[in-house]
Chain A
Amino acid sequence: MGPNAGELKGRAGETLGARPWVGRRLWTGFDASQFPWWVAIVVVVGVYVAISVLTSPQYRDVIRFIVPGLRVTLQATFAAYGLALIIGLIAGLMRVSRNPVLYAVSTLYVEIIRGIPMLVILLYAGFVISPRLRDATGGTVKLTDIQEAILGLAIGYGAYLAEVYRAGIESIHRGQMEAARSLGMTYMQAMRYVVLPQAIRVILPPLGNDFIAMLKDSSLVAVLAIPDLLQMGRLYISRTFRAFEGYNSVALLYLVMTLFLSLLVRWIEKRWSIHGR
């Protein structure tokens, strides 16, 4: 026997008065607690920074110099992430396999790679794997610098993504696999049509986070003398000694990309959660 709607409405203002920002509609269709305030702050600060950067001849000079590195960074990140998605899927499937050999091999890969710093993996890819590969194939397989970097990043992140896939697959109720198998599907068919499509929805946020992390870690490829964003920034600084403007610009460009990506991930997440039942 609760109060009627009219009373509730009348009281809402009083009870919420103590914390006016919680769930209170400021005007029709606008809920203050739902509004992404952090985005607004970023936008305001971003506009301020953009104006000051674009009106300053020094910053315009830096940006013009390092922007080609942006392309290299994005190219390496996208290629390496695509490759890591494939390596991770294969290793993740092996991690949930009942075959002891597949399980052991994938577990070894994941544990070893996760225990080695990304920087060391990149140096391995550039100075150990790549030359050995070239010698072993008699010079027919010759990786360029950027391919070495992509290989290193992909091997490194493949291990993290393998664990993301594994967790996603294991989060799907066992009954799903059983139902699919009881209809006569093979293990791989059941994975492909029943388990993985559901697992992908679960792991989308961590996959997005790892993409952002990889974008940042791609700055490590500078050690392989690849002209990425960071390397171009360092090059600029070594020529002009303007470390302040140089690193500010590098950091700003990374930040713009990661913020944009994190918004993208949120948007995709929201979309999928509506359609995925």
Chain B
Amino acid sequence: MADNIIRIRNLHKSFGHVHALRGIDLDVAQGEVVVIVGPSGSGKSTLLRCINHLEKPTSGEIIVDGIAVTDRNANINALRAEVGMVFQSFNLFPHMTALENIVLAQRVVRRRSRQEAERIAHALLEKVGIPEKADAYPGQLSGGQQQRVAIARALAMQPKIMLFDEPTSALDPEMIKEVLDVMLDLAREGMTMIVVSHEMGFARNAADRIVFMDEGHIIEEAPPAQLFSNPRHDRTKVFLSKILH
């Protein structure tokens, strides 16, 4: 399909003797929300990190928005500006306020004026529901607030794709919803999203497709209703029985 914004073919990734990804094929359409699930060590995060080249694939092909990530001459920095990433551990810059966190890359990468970058940053803090925290340092924010700032920081680059690497795994239970709500809003607005998460409620409500991975392979992919009610593979059934109570 021509409108696939991400196209992955026969992707392999090894860390020394560990073969983390063993031949992944995956297409993601513009505006699609894909949730990746699977047991720990199945290669979910590695796949996500290969898409914006935080990990260098061992072999295979990844094309993101027409740029071949796996091409030696590809402008990876230009690509990364179009692909937002949200980390499990937030990774906010602790020496900067929430506002400065959101402003920095706009200034340095997008070359926006301070005034414009700050206007965008304030608007995004409003969008993620914490406009009053602009001048707070990450250390003064709760986990949920930090993750929302991190989402705003990624959105400030106006990316075409957002990658979420277990965005709620490091959060206390009462803070998970505030982050998921922001992600749900994004999904409704038509953002292309790939989410590694075990939040099945989110997957049910927002995902167009669920991808189940195990031992570096994609075992099965299907819309949530179908995968949850009628998994085809035994390994999917076993996994789902463990996380769906």
Cβ A183 vs Cβ B95 within 8 A: no
Residue-wise, chain B 73-102 has the 8 Å CB interface mask toward A (1 for contact) of: 000011011011101010111110000000
Closest to B89 in A: A175
Whole-angstrom distance between the Cβ of B195 and the nearest chain A Cβ: 15
The interface-forming segment of A42-50, A185-193, A204-212, A213-221 is A185-193
Whole-angstrom distance between the Cβ of A197 and the nearest chain B Cβ: 5
Task: Give complex CA distance A69, B128 in Å.
Answer: 62
Query: Looking at chain A's contact residues, is the secondary structure mostly helix, strand, loop, or mixed?
Result: helix
Task: Give complex CA distance A276, B109 in Å.
Answer: 25
List residues of chain A with CB within 8 A of the CB of B91.
Answer: 173, 175-176, 178-179
Task: Give complex CA distance A135, B182 in Å.
Answer: 69
A184 interface residue, CB < 8 Å from B?
yes
Task: Give complex CA distance A175, B89 in Å.
Answer: 8
Whole-angstrom distance between the Cβ of A256 and the nearest chain B Cβ: 35
Cβ B109 vs Cβ A185 within 8 A: yes
Whole-angstrom distance between the Cβ of A16 and the nearest chain B Cβ: 33
Cβ B104 vs Cβ A277 within 8 A: no
Given contacts A175-B91, A189-B108, A198-B94, contact A184 B138 (CB under 8 A): no
Task: Give complex CA distance A179, B91 in Å.
Answer: 6
List residues of chain B with CB within 8 A of the CB of A179.
Answer: 85, 87, 91-93, 150
A56 interface residue, CB < 8 Å from B?
no
Residue-wise, chain B 148-174 has the 8 Å CB interface mask toward A (1 for contact) of: 001001100100000000000000000
The 4 closest A-B pairs by CB, nearest first: A184-B81, A179-B91, A183-B105, A175-B91
21 contacts across the A-B interface (CB closer than 8 A): A173-B91, A175-B91, A176-B91, A178-B54, A178-B87, A182-B85, A183-B84, A184-B81, A184-B109, A185-B77, A185-B108, A186-B77, A189-B108, A189-B109, A198-B93, A198-B94, A276-B95, A277-B94, A277-B95, A277-B137, A277-B138
